[in-house]
Amino acid sequence: MALRPSQPLTVVPHTTVAEASQIMAAKREDCVLVIDEEQRLSGIFTAKDLAFRVVGQGIDARDVLIKDIMTENPICARQSSPATEALEIMVRRGFRHMPVLDEDGDILGILDITKCFYEAMEKVNLVTTMTDLSLNEHMRRLRNSTMLLKVCRLNGEEQFPSPSRC
């Protein structure tokens, strides 16, 4: 299963937490990627960071910069990473968002664990459906073979006719 990252929201390090939070709220997203002047990833700021590192600590979001709260150098997936590997890392490490970079380190998007989970479940359902169809086809062939054997027995034969008699 290939990675299908969403288009990320981005901010610069000198954005206030209040401004970043307003951007997130306006776009109904749970995180922003923090980029440097060269458009390279320098950190990630999430709604969880807002809750625990700002509001939970009694800090005024208007008075603190993203660079002081963000998670620096977040773990990233590569474009070539299997989706199951990215999902496993997010579950094991306990985070909900993972940036996706291309082989040159440029930002391609952001993975959300909920979306990854649903995509994984869709794949499981597809495989299950395909397996069910395959099993149904095998059962149909088996029933046809059983019916053929019964016809052969009615004709006085104990086994299937040879291919040359077909």
pLDDT, tens digit, for every residue of 91-115? 899 989 999 999 999 999 999 888 7
Take residue 132 and report the two structure tokens written for it. 């069910």
d(CA 60, CA 74): 24
The model's pLDDT over 125-149, given as tens digits with 9 standing for 90+, comes to 766 766 665 666 666 666 665 555 5
The pLDDT confidence band at residue 14, using thresholds 50, 70 and 90, is very high
Question: Which one-letter amino acid corresponds to residue 53?
Answer: R
User: Based on the domain organization, do 70 and 100 belong to the same domain?
Assistant: yes
**What's the angle, vertex CA 31, arms to CA 63 and CA 96, rounded to 5?**
130
Of 32 and 132, more confident: 32
User: Beta-carbon neighbour count of residue 111 at 10 Å?
Assistant: 27
In terms of domains, do 73 and 135 share one? no
Q: What is the residue range of 150's domain?
A: 123-158
Quick one: DSSP state of residue 158? Answer: S
Give every strand in the sheet of 10-11, ordered side by side.
Answer: 10-11, 31-35, 41-46, 71-72
Q: Around 29, how many Cα atoms within 13 Å sit in the side-chain half-sphere? A: 23
Give the number of domains in the chain: 2
- Same domain for 114 and 136: no
Question: 166 in a domain, yes or no?
Answer: no
Cβ atoms of residues 96 and 117 within 8 Å: no
| 44 lies in the same domain as 109 | yes
Same domain, 26 and 76: yes
Same domain, yes or no: 106 and 130:
no
Q: Which of 97, 89, 88 is nearest to 32 (CA)?
A: 97
CA distance 32 to 24: 7
42: CATH: 3.10.580.10
Per the rule left: phi > 0, alpha: psi between -120 and 50, beta: everything else, 156 is left
Let me know whether 51 and 129 are in one domain.
no
